[in-house]
Each structure stands twice: as C-alpha cells, then as structure tokens.
Amino acid sequence: MPRNYRTSLFIIIAAALCLGGISGVSPGYAQNSVQFSEVEVENHFPDELLFRAWVSSAAGKIVSAKFVYTYEKYYSSSSYTKDTVEIESGTKVFLEYVLDTRDFTTPPLMPIAYHWDVMDADGNHYTSEPENIHYAEFAAWHNLAHDWVGGETYSNYGITVQIVQDSGYLSGWLNNVIPHEISHLYFD
C-alpha cells in the first residue's frame, strides 16, 4: 500500500472517530442529555402513594416510561417491579405513577427503593437516580395478616413487631410470642 494512501486512510478514520461517526455513541445521547426533576411523593394513606416527576430530553422525544420499585431487602429479596407509565411523547414529559397500597403489607419504616426508566425514539434508555421512601403508617403494616399470626421479625432491620388483640392475651404474649420473635432476630 503506498505511503500517501495509508496516510490519507488514517486521516479519514481519525476524523470519523473524532466526529463520532464510527464510535456508535454520539455526544447527544449521553445520560446528562436527559434530566429528571426531583420526584414528588404524596401519601394518600391507606389507599395509595403518588409519585410525580418531569423528564426533559435534549436527545430526542421520550416515547415510553416505566416506574421501577422494590421493597429493598424485604425478606432478603431484591426483585424489582417495572410498571409501564402512560405518557404523551415529547422532549418534556410529565411522569406520574400511583402505587396502590390498599393491600400493601410492609413493616413500619421499611424502605421502598424506586427510580424512573425512560426510552427515547432511538431506543436509548435513561434512568433517574435511585431514591428511597419509608412508608411509615404503623397501623397498616400488616393488613393482610391471618388471625393466627402473632408477630413477625425483620432481621435485616433488627425489628420484631407483635400483634396483640387485647389485654387478656398480654401475659401469654410476653411469655411466648415475644421470646419466639426475638429468637429469630438472634439466629437470623
């Protein structure tokens, strides 16, 4: 191959790389080209948690969105729920998700980790920073409990919660259920 041809080929390849034509990643699709506003959360206890945010894109139209959440380390699980959110596509999109909490069972102060995931018209995905919320409504933590459940232990958080129907059961609880639940904390 002649020297001039190799030099010309090298210059063409270098120029293409500098302009982003071969790299496959154009500067317009960087994560910072999509901005999420701070998420607003409204607690409509005991029915729902309402999450709202705005997302704006310099990378192109946002065409789909998902709300992603998990009960962080709930019973040592880290599985995520990804729910599609209806949106009007555009470069600035309003995001809203309603988490139905009517049948929500979570112990007091259990963190719920969540974030938004959006996709632009070219199929690029962008995620917001993960955040946590603590759903602290003590009376609702165990609304799906069977009547034979006397207490539960959440060893990841070092807590045990007892359910006492009335004072007639209190001495039995103190002697039986509470030591039982504490043993779960001790032995994990």
pLDDT in tens, 108-149: 667 788 999 999 999 999 999 999 887 767 555 555 555 556
Amino acid 143: pLDDT: 56
Amino acid 105: pLDDT: 65
Amino acid 103: pLDDT: 76
Task: State the first-to-last Cα distance of the chain, in angstroms, to the nearest integer.
Answer: 71
Amino acid 167: pLDDT: 59
Amino acid 36: pLDDT: 96
Amino acid 74: pLDDT: 52
pLDDT in tens, 75-95: 456 678 899 999 999 999 999
The 8 Å CB, 24+ separation contacts for 175-184 are 177/150, 177/151, 178/151, 180/151, 181/151, 181/152, 181/153, 182/153, 184/153, 184/155, 184/160
Residue 163 has pLDDT above 90, yes or no: no
pLDDT in tens, 152-162: 777 777 777 77
**154-167 in b/e burial notation, b at 16+ Cβ within 10 A?**
beeeeebeeeeeee
- Other beta carbons within 10 angstroms of residue 100's beta carbon come to 9
The amino acid occupying position 77 is S
Instruction: Delineate the domains of the chain, giving CATH numbers in brackets.
Output: 28-138 (2.60.40.10), 145-187 (no CATH)
- Map tokens 């060893």 to a residue: 155
Task: Return the H-helix or E-strand segment holding 71.
Answer: strand 62-71
